[in-house]
Amino acid sequence: MGLEERAALVTGASRGIGRAAALALARAGAKVAVNYSTNEEAARRVVDEIAQGGGEAFAVQGDVSRSEDSARMVSEVLGRYGRLDILVNNAGIARDNLLLRLSEDSWDAVLDTNLKGVYNCLRAAARPMLKQRFGRVVNVASVAGLMASPGQANYSAAKAGVIALTRTLARELGSRNITVNAVAPGFIDTDMTRELSAEAREAYLKRIALERFGRPEEVAEVIVFLASPAAGYITGQTVVVDGGLSI
Ligand code: NAP
């Protein structure tokens, strides 16, 4: 995929889709900063796996909902690799509930991590990317940001915000050769979806054209593509990776 000499930061890379994206970017030749929030051991395992495959990576702690953490993470990448070419805004959480039971805390936690976190990291990363006149940003949204998702008012609002932010920043940053795209996964088999009840999983399965859940690696391949030279003329887009869930 031609990502040699590129430096990447993947948020929420200790597990799930972020982990798969970090591994796939490293396989494509990029050096990768593996961000985690609390799960240091899992992040170290990802770094080890990348090193075992002959790649280069380091783990960086930081809570994306905190602007100072996001700025520090970007500084650490610049300190280590001297540049930041690829930013994958993947860190995310879900706190599902129907509106009347949806607490203000759950609303704030999801908006702060899933939407403000993207703003925080992009704001920190934009400066070095503008200077380099090169950047590839991939935001991990969700089909919940494109279609109704009962029980996920906070999550779907945040993800719709990410899709809008993607389009707007693609326009703002395009003149400096920075592309900003999003992926919108459907139901991917990770810790996040393993928390759902058997009934909820079954109900999703019935709606998926390919009749199976997605694998984190299937989202990661699209992230790598959007960061690669092959996608150099694509910006402001949201690529749906959902096995036909939303059609
Ligand atoms: P996951 O398995 O639950 O992993 C979440 C990752 O995010 C972990 O690495 C976690 O770090 C990190 N994280 C959480 N809060 C953070 C914060 N404040 N700062 C930095 N890192 C934080 O989730 P996933 O299913 O892979 O989801 C990844 C992304 O895909 C999310 O944005 C999610 O909304 C989106 N998505 C997932 C699905 C799906 O079906 N799974 C579908 C659509 C979209 P720790 O390990 O340190 O806790």
Q: What is the pLDDT of residues 208-224, one digit of tens each?
A: 999 999 999 999 999 99
Q: What is the per-residue pLDDT across 56-115, written as a single tens digit (0 to 9) for each?
A: 999 999 999 999 999 999 999 999 999 999 999 999 999 999 999 999 999 999 999 999
Contact predicate 71/127, CB 8 Å: no
Q: What is the C-alpha separation between 228 and 77, in angstroms, rounded?
A: 19
Ligand 1 atom nearest the C-alpha of 114 is 32
Confirm whether 155 is a catalytic residue. yes
Which residue in 121, 137, 245, 135 sits closest to 193, CA to CA? 245
- Ligand 1 pocket mutation, candidates 37, 110, 204, 242, criterion most atoms within 8 A of CB: 37
Which tokens sit at 52? Answer: 């075992």
The answer to whether 80 and 56 have CB atoms below 8 angstroms apart is: no
Of 241, 213, 210, the closest CA to residue 146 belongs to 241
Cα distances (Å, whole numbers) of residue 227 to 4, 122, 215, 223: 12, 15, 19, 6
CA distances 212 to 30, 47, 153, 199, 201, Å, are 31, 29, 25, 15, 10
Distance (angstroms) between ligand 1 centre and the Cα of 10 equals: 11
Residue 43 pLDDT > 70: yes
User: Residue 1 has what pLDDT?
Assistant: 61
Query: For a pLDDT cut of 70, what percent of the chain falls above it?
Result: 100
| Top mutation candidate among 90, 119, 238 for ligand 1, by most atoms within 8 Å of CB | 90
Q: SS3 for 186?
A: coil
Which residues lie with the beta carbon below 6 Å from any ligand 1 atom?
11-18, 35-39, 42, 63-65, 90-93, 113-114, 140, 142, 185, 187-188, 190-193
Tokens of 123: 């704001």
Predicted confidence (pLDDT) per residue in 163-206, tens digit: 999 999 999 999 999 999 999 999 999 999 999 999 999 999 99
* Lookup: tokens for 100: 């009347």
Arithmetic mean of pLDDT over the chain = 98
Given the residues 36, 119, 155, 204, the one annotated as active site: 155
Name the token pair of 149: 């998702």
Ligand 1 atom nearest 214 alpha carbon: 40
H or E stretch including 148?
A: none
pTM of the model: 0.98
Strand partners, 222: none
